[in-house]
Amino acid sequence: MGALHEGHLSLVDAAKGGCDAVAVSIFVNPTQFAPAEDLAAYPRRPEADLAACEARGADLVFIPSVEAMYGDGALTHVTVAELSGGLCGRSRPTHFAGVCTVVAKLFNIVQPDKAYFGRKDFQQAVIIRRMARDLDFPIEIVTCPIVRESDGLALSSRNAYLTPPQRAQAPALSASLAAAERLIRAEAPPAEAVRAQVRRHLAAHAPDGRIDYVEVVDPEALTAVARARPPVLVALAVRFGSTRLIDNVLVDAEAPAG
C-alpha cells in the first residue's frame, strides 16, 4: 500500500533474484479499511516510492486510482471464509474480503508467474495462497522473512504513527515472541502457557499497549492448538493508542525462525 520501507523493498530484492522482470503494485485499497480505520491518514509517498522501486531495480510500478480498480458499482467480492475469521479477522471482520478482492484483481491485471508477500502479515499470506489455489491462479505465492529494526520491531508503515514513548515500548512485541519460541522449543508446553507468558511480557514491557489478541495456531489451518509443538505459529496484535501493530513467529520443526 505504499510508504515503502525495507520490508517492502526486500520483496523486490527477492523477486529480482527469482524472476526475469519485477512489477510492484502500489494501491491504498479502500475496501480493506473499516469505516473507523485510518484510510484517510494512511501515509502516501508516491514520488519517494517510485524512486525506491527504481533504485532496487523494479521494472514496472503499477499505481492505479480507486476509480480504475473499482469503477462504478462494483458488486463482486472474494472471500476465503474459513481462514479469515480468526486472528486479525476477529477485530477486522471485513478486512480480508477487501484484501482478497483487490489481490485477485491485481493478479488478473498483472498476470504474474510469482507473487511475493511478507511473513509479517502471515494470515494474509496463508489466505492469498489458498485463494490462488482455489481459484486456479497459475501463480506461485512466495513468502519472505520479516524485516526488523535493530531493536527487533517489525517494519511497518504504521510505525510512523507511534509517539516516542510508544516506539520505546514497541520492541516488546518481538521480544515476547522470542521468549515464546524459546519456551516452545524447550518444553512444547500447553498453548495457554505460551499465551500467558506473552501477555505477562507485554504487560511488563509495553504497559501502554492494549492487546488485541495473542494466539497459538496451526500455521496452515490458522486454528488454535492445545499444545505448542513445532510447527506452530505464535501471532499477536497490540494497539498503542489508535495504532495497531502485528507480529508473529513461526516456530518450525528444524531451526529457530528468522
Contacts 24+ apart (CB under 8 A), 35-43: 37/92, 38/158, 38/161, 38/242, 42/1, 42/3, 42/157, 43/2, 43/3, 43/157, 43/160
Mapped onto helix, strand or coil, the DSSP state of residue 149 is: coil
Distance in angstroms between the alpha carbons of the first and the last residue of the chain? 24
Active-site residue set: 8
What is residue 119's DSSP assignment?
A: G
At how many degrees (to 10) do helices 172-187 and 191-205 cross? 150
**105-130 burial: b if 16+ Cβ within 10 Å, else e:** bbbeeeebeebbbbbbbbbbbbbbbb
19, HSE (Cβ side, Cα atoms, 13 Å): 22
152 CB-contact burial (10 Å; exposed 0-12 / middle 13-18 / buried 19+): middle
Q: In Å, how far are 33, 146, 193, 229 from 225, measured between CA atoms?
A: 29, 23, 12, 9
Helices (H) and strands (E) in the chain, counts: 10, 7
